Every structure is written in C-alpha cells, then in structure tokens.
Amino acid sequence: MNAETSTMHIVANIPVWILLFSILAALVFSIWAYKRTWPPTGLTIRWTLIMLRWGALIGGILIISHPELELKENLLEPASIGVLIDQSASMSITQGEVDRQQIVRDILNSQSFSDLNKRQRLNLFTFSDSLSERYNNVEIPEDVSANGIGTNISRAWMEAYDKLALSPPAALIMISDGVHNSGPDPIRLARTARTAIYTIGVGSSEKYRDIMLLNVSANPVVYQGSTNPVEIGFRCIGAAGKSLTIAIKNSNGKLIVRKQLTVTSDYYEGTEFFDIVINQPGKRRFQVEISTIENELTTDNNHRSFYMNVLASKMRVLLMSGPPDNGLGDIVRKLSNDDHIELIQRTSRSGSFYEGDWPDTDMLGKVDVVILHHFPIKSTNSNKLKEFAEAVKESELPLGFFDGGTIDYNKLKLFESILPVTVRKYPKPRVEGQVIPNQRHAIIADPEEINFSAEWLGLPPLKYNPDRFDFGKHVNVLAEFHTLELLDRFPAIVVSETGGVKSVAILGNDLWRWGLVSTVDEGVIGPLLSRLVRWLAVRKAGKRVELTFDKELFSNQESVAFSVSVFNENYFPLEDALVSAVISKSDTVGGETLLTGIGAGRYRGVFQPYGEGEYQIKASASLDGLNLGEDIGRITVEPFNIELLDAKLNEQLLKSVAEFSGGAYFQSSQVDSLFDSLDLPLTEREEITRWQLWGRGWILAIIVGLLTIEWFIRIRTGML
C-alpha cells in the first residue's frame, strides 16, 4: 500500500482566517489592557500580565473553535475481490472419484490462489441459502462442512456487495456446483451485478444414478378406520430397466403397503397412489421408502416421513337448543349428513326437553363437543343449567355457541368463563350485516381452497346485535359483519383456545338463510359446520406449559426451532418464567437449553440435531422456584434435503451468470489460469487521520490557571 499524495492542514468549527484573526485580536486587546496600570508597574510585570491575559483568551477561542490537525492521504492499494464458496449439501457429494469438498480445499490451498491473495485483497465467504460471515483468512476452517439447506446463488453475491460496502469489490469469484433451488433467477439478476462474476464449476455434469422421493402428500387429519389416500412422487435417474419398490411403514417399521414398478427410461418421474387404513387414534408417523440401486449418488433422499392426526371414527356432538325453529332444523340436517358425526339432541320444551332428561356426567364423558344453539331460554331450569355448565367446565369440553332465537342472556352468563364472549347489560337494536372472513382458519376454509372468501360475498346478510357482547384480548376474530349504515365492523365468528380449551361463537341470527343460496351442493354452511365441529373435536390438553414446533419433520442439516407457551392459574399468558428444555434421542440425553422469552407468555428455543431419528423434547417452566408444569413433544429428523433432488453440476447456469455479469466461467481444473490472469489495477482510497490539538477539559483548566495567576499578580501589585 503506497501513499500517492498527502496533505495536512488545520480544520476548525470556524474558518481558519477567523481563528487567526481572533488570536491576533486577543493579543492587541491584552496589550491595550496593560499599556498603562495603576499604580504604575515595571515593564516586566506588564508583559507578564499581557501574556497571561492573552493565553486565557486563546484558550477561550480554542474552546469555541475546537481545531484539529487533519492529514489526508490518497492511498493506492490492491483491488478487493470477494470469494464465495458454496457450502450447501450438494457440495458434500462424491460422484465417482469426484469429491466436491476436496476439490474446494485443493483450490484454496493451491499456489495460484496463494499468489492471488498476495496481489489482491481477498474476502472469503461461504454460502448456501444465505451468506456467512467473512473469514479472517482465506481458507475454510476444518469444522465448516457442506450441509446447507438449499442454495440461493443470487442472494449470495448481493449480500457480499452489502458486507463489503466500505471497500467495494472489483470482482467476485464464485466456487459452486451451480445447484440453485431458492430465491430469484440468478441468470436474470446477473445482468444487474455491480461487478464481473467469475464462476468456477465443481462436480461433474455427466450422467449419474439416483433414486429419490420428491414429495409425499396425505391428509394431515383423518378418521379412525377410514381409507386415506397417500400420493408419492419420485424421480429415477440412470435406472432404466430397474425394478423398484415403494413401501409405506409405520413408526415401528412394520410394512403397511407397497408397490413394485419398472423404470422405463434413464430419466423417469412418476406418481404412485396408495390407500392406507389406520385403526388407532392419535398422531401417527409413517415412513415412505423407495429402493436403492448400485452406485447410487446418494441414498439420503430414498426415504421420507409424514404424520397423520387420526381422530376417533365418529365425533359425538351434544346439541343443546332452544325450541324448534328453522335454524335448528337446518343445523340438524347438516350435521346428520356428516358420516363422521354422531348427533345427540336436547331440544327445549317448557323447562324440559323433547328427547329426555338433562345430560348427566356419564353422557358428558362420552361427548366430544357441546353446542349451544339458541340456548338457554327463559324457561330453562336455572339449577339444572348451573349443574350442566359446571359439568361442562369440569370436563373441559370444547363449546360452540350460536346466537339467536329467544336466548336468556342472563342465564348464558353461566358459560362466560369458557365462551369467547361476555354479555353486556344494555344492547342496542339488531341490524343487518354482510359476513366476510378476514383470515384463513381451519373453520373458515380447507387448506386447498385458494379463493375461499369469494363464496361468502354472495351470502345473504344476517341480523346481529353490535353491542350485545364484549370480547377478551385472547379472542381470535375469523369473520366480521360489514354494514352500510355503520362504518364500524363487528366480530361475526370468534374463537378462543385459552388454557387449551377450545370455544367458538357465531353471532349472526338466522344462519339457515345461507343454506337457501345453493341447491346443488353444500355451499358454505354445510362445510362450515363440519369444519367447526372437527376443529373443536381435536382437543388440546389443558396444560399450563405447552410445547409446539414450527413443523414436525426436520432435515438433519437444519436447526430445530420450537416454542413453549406458559400460562398462569387462570390460563392467561405468563411472563418472566424460567423455561428450559431437555433434548434426548433414543433415550440418550443430548443436553439442556434455556429458552428466550419473546412476549405474550411465549418462549423460543432452538437446537442442532445430532443425526437422524426421533427426538424427544421435554420442556418445563418455573417461577420463583415454583414448578408450573411440563410438556413433552416429539419430532423426526431425517436426511432429506432439497439439495439432493438434482445434484449434478449445472455448468449452463454458471456460464450464463459469468457471461451476463461480464466475467468468465472456469472448470475446477482451470483455476490456475483464472488466478494467474486476474490482476486487477490498484484502487485509490482516501484515508483521513485527525489529531485533536486541544482537549476541552485541559483548556478550561489552563484558562482558570492563567486567570488565577493574573489575579494574584494584580493583588500583590495593588491593582484594582
């Protein structure tokens, strides 16, 4: 690094000429002040006082102007080059005798790369789906392995520009296999690259052999004993004429179903459909396996896992209703038509019910969901109703509520602790409004429905009372009433999951009107009721500590993230708890980690799995030494990685990126010619160094000292 030119000058808060003039003016003033004294004094004393006064005034001027000595140097230094090393999982593959990771290390340890580092300023990064931090030296540490989940090539060079903003690179070198499966198209963005990108291809573009599972699709929630379809996509490369087997096994490795197929070409993609029957309720994990072949590129993509939440064959719904009306008839018909619902009715009749006595504890023990439809009414027995409400609370049964009819809202207050609404004293008259969903939810729409809100726009408006209910802060509003008369919006469908107990309230009257819209299919109301019951029936335990995962399946090359929700005695979110988690695999404890609070009673944790298999996470919480509870969750870590779906060297992509950015493409065997020829001109950089001439504290001390000495001399000589 050489200094081409350098300049030094004084800078201050005021122009330098004013600074010099002020200092000269201070000298003139000091001489004038002591030109004559009374009583008269000798010349030596007068000049001493002049110098003291002038020094104090100079100090004051320096405090105001705060001058600094500035050195500007225009430096010539080697150009900066960013070196981006692909460390995604595909870079760990050995294809034949081609070990991609070893090739990368050979490149970085080559003499030509070392010579390039001496001529230029190299900045080394690794990347996969994002860019790593810069390494201090130009070699990858031994503990850095190629295990990234996905490759985002364009994001890598854009982030490199940002991280090198203080010393912009004159060029980029990218060492990669060209496997790109995340982010925007790098070929298109290469035209806008700020510098030339030189790409080095690692791997082989020759044909290879690989059998892989592409996707597994199955319903996440099914019913016990029902036949459930499973769709499995696969790809075969270099396996023409081979006979393969696809099998589905349960979590214990027991075979459920399998199919054989023959691959008809070197590149073959297909989809197979299976039907499986699950006879045990609960959350079940299944494993899909496809055959391996000799000399296969990798076998990590030959098996995948998936989960199904298996519900009991029929959901028992207890429907407590007011007197018979159109709404009751419609809801009974809709629920009775669902093969997975067993309906138990109690229809009000002058203080009793048409179908029999009040539900007892034994009946409630067999019920999955309780629905209050236009219930309770004035003639409902208050004592029996209170016993019933207490039994529902005690059983922690999920509760649905349909407003309308001749409800006695004072009696409804018995259910307020488990309903998502509370009753107001002075309601206003009812108005009409259009119900429009404001979010996707399991009650509102199935996951595959894209334009789900369009159907709701054609539904008849419903009557509702905008001031009948209040809503707690933990209520989730799924749909709202929209009116022409009132500019405000009011909740129409609300849900709550406080403390693990689910409840839902539909606040529009005459819901049966929606059933008149469609005579061909179920329209909106039928599926809405089925989804509502189904959502309520999938119950959660009423735990004060609840563990949840971002997903159920993880790759062994990604971190496992999870959350823990903590509640107090009344099942409201609890802050400031001490939450920890113990992670174990195959009964081997892996370690304990403390979780970080993220607000609203939620705590976040993350860990890096140590191999594939099933992991158990045991979360526990305490506050001030008092144990609040614990929860246990399980997840599966498998070797699948999107990087392994197509792992051959993509030379065309790397060539296009280099060409459109103004760079060039080189094979890994040609890197010496790249490094030897890459001799970029020196870059000019301005470097400014400043020295503060005076410290403000010292100046003030000197001023006080000078004035003190001046005053002392004046006193001793008798001056005023």
Query: Tell me: the pLDDT tens digits for 63-83?
Result: 777 777 777 777 778 888 999
Residues 6+ apart with CB under 8 A from 554: 560, 609, 635, 636, 637, 638
User: Is residue 520's pLDDT more than 80?
Assistant: no
DSSP state letters, 487-533: SS-EEEEEEE-GGG--EEEE--B-GGGGGGT-SSS-TTHHHHHHHHH
Alpha-carbon 449 to chain mean position: 24
User: Is residue 530's pLDDT more than 70?
Assistant: yes
Helices vs. strands in the chain: H and E counts, helices first: 15, 39
What is the mean predicted confidence (pLDDT) over 350-369?
Answer: 90
pLDDT in tens, 658-691: 999 999 999 988 999 999 888 887 777 667 777 7
User: Is residue 258's pLDDT more than 90?
Assistant: yes
More confident: 298 or 506 = 506
Q: Can you give the pLDDT at residue 506? A: 94
Percent of the chain with pLDDT over 70: 86
* Tokens, residue 607: 């860990």
User: Is residue 325's pLDDT more than 50?
Assistant: yes
d(CA 213, CA 332): 45
Q: Identify the H or E element spanning 245.
A: strand 243-250
d(CA 233, CA 306): 13
Q: Can you give the pLDDT at residue 347? A: 94
d(CA 82, CA 697): 45
* Tokens, residue 580: 């920890």
pLDDT in tens, 152-181: 888 888 998 988 887 889 999 999 988 887
Contact 534, 315 (CB under 8 A): yes
User: Is residue 141's pLDDT more than 70?
Assistant: no
**Pick from 653, 614, 644, 628: nearest CA to 577:** 628
What is the mean predicted confidence (pLDDT) over 208-219?
Answer: 81
Amino acid at 432: E
What is the mean predicted confidence (pLDDT) over 138-156?
Answer: 71
Q: Picking from 35-44, 140-149, 428-437, 585-594, which range would have the lowest pLDDT averaged per residue?
A: 140-149
User: Is residue 421's pLDDT more than 60?
Assistant: yes
Contact 263, 233 (CB under 8 A): no
DSSP letter, residue 131: B
DSSP letter, residue 677: H
**Pick from 260, 69, 82: nearest CA to 169:** 82
d(CA 359, CA 372): 13
pLDDT in tens, 12-55: 667 778 878 888 888 888 888 888 878 888 888 888 888 988 88
Mean pLDDT rounded to a whole number for the chain: 82
Q: Picking from 98-107, 387-396, 445-454, 556-565, which range would have the lowest pLDDT averaged per residue?
A: 445-454
What is the mean predicted confidence (pLDDT) over 322-335?
Answer: 90
Q: What is the dihedral of CA 323, 326, 329, 335, to 10 degrees?
A: -110
More confident: 485 or 111 = 111
* Tokens, residue 491: 């909740």
What is the mean predicted confidence (pLDDT) over 429-453?
Answer: 79
**Pick from 78, 326, 220, 174: nearest CA to 661:** 174
d(CA 90, CA 645): 9
Q: Identify the H or E element spanning 696.
A: helix 696-716
**Pick from 473, 489, 471: nearest CA to 481:** 489
Of 296-310, 317-331, 703-717, which has the strongest mean pLDDT?
A: 317-331
Q: Can you give the pLDDT at residue 693? A: 61
Contact 591, 580 (CB under 8 A): no
User: Is residue 571's pLDDT more than 60?
Assistant: no
More confident: 65 or 526 = 526
Contact 649, 204 (CB under 8 A): yes
495 falls in which pLDDT band (50, 70, 90)?
Answer: very high
What is the mean predicted confidence (pLDDT) over 429-434?
Answer: 86
Q: What's the full length of the chain, in residues?
A: 720
β-sheet bridge partners, residue 437: 479
Q: Picking from 455-459, 556-560, 678-682, which range would have the lowest pLDDT averaged per residue?
A: 556-560
* Bond from prior residue into 376 cis (ω within 30 degrees of 0): yes
User: Is residue 321's pLDDT more than 70?
Assistant: yes
519 falls in which pLDDT band (50, 70, 90)?
Answer: very low
Provide long-range contacts, Cβ within 8 A and 24+ apart, for 13-22.
Answer: 13/64, 13/65, 13/66, 14/64, 14/65, 19/61, 19/65, 19/67, 22/61, 22/65
Specify the residue for token string 């439809």. Answer: 373
d(CA 448, CA 446): 6
Amino acid at 102: Q
Region of residue 363 (left: phi > 0; alpha: psi -120 to 50; beta: else): alpha
What angle do helix axes 326-336 and 525-537 make, rounded to 10 degrees?
Answer: 70
What is the mean predicted confidence (pLDDT) over 95-102?
Answer: 78
**Pick from 600, 579, 382, 354: nearest CA to 474:** 600
DSSP state letters, 619-634: EEEEETTEEEEEEEEE
Of 242-256, 431-445, 478-492, 538-552, which has the strongest mean pLDDT?
A: 242-256
Largest CA distance in the chain: 126
User: Is residue 522's pLDDT more than 60?
Assistant: no
Burial of 120 (0-12, 13-18, 19+ CB in 10 A): buried
pLDDT in tens, 395-407: 889 999 999 889 9
Q: pTM, whole model, 2 decimals?
A: 0.46
485 falls in which pLDDT band (50, 70, 90)?
Answer: low
Domains of the chain, each with CATH number or no CATH: 2-74+690-716 (no CATH), 79-204+648-681 (3.40.50.410), 210-311 (2.60.40.10), 315-537 (3.40.50.880), 545-638 (2.60.40.1930)
Q: Picking from 135-149, 324-338, 469-483, which range would have the lowest pLDDT averaged per residue?
A: 135-149
Q: Can you give the pLDDT at residue 229? A: 85
Contact 347, 321 (CB under 8 A): yes
d(CA 510, CA 492): 13
Q: Identify the H or E element spanning 24.
A: helix 16-33
Other residues' Cβ atoms within 10 Å of the Cβ of residue 162: 8
343 falls in which pLDDT band (50, 70, 90)?
Answer: very high
Contact 423, 416 (CB under 8 A): yes
SS3 692: strand
Q: Can you give the pLDDT at residue 442? A: 77
d(CA 572, CA 566): 8
pLDDT in tens, 226-252: 788 888 889 888 888 889 999 999 888
d(CA 617, CA 590): 10
DSSP letter, residue 484: S
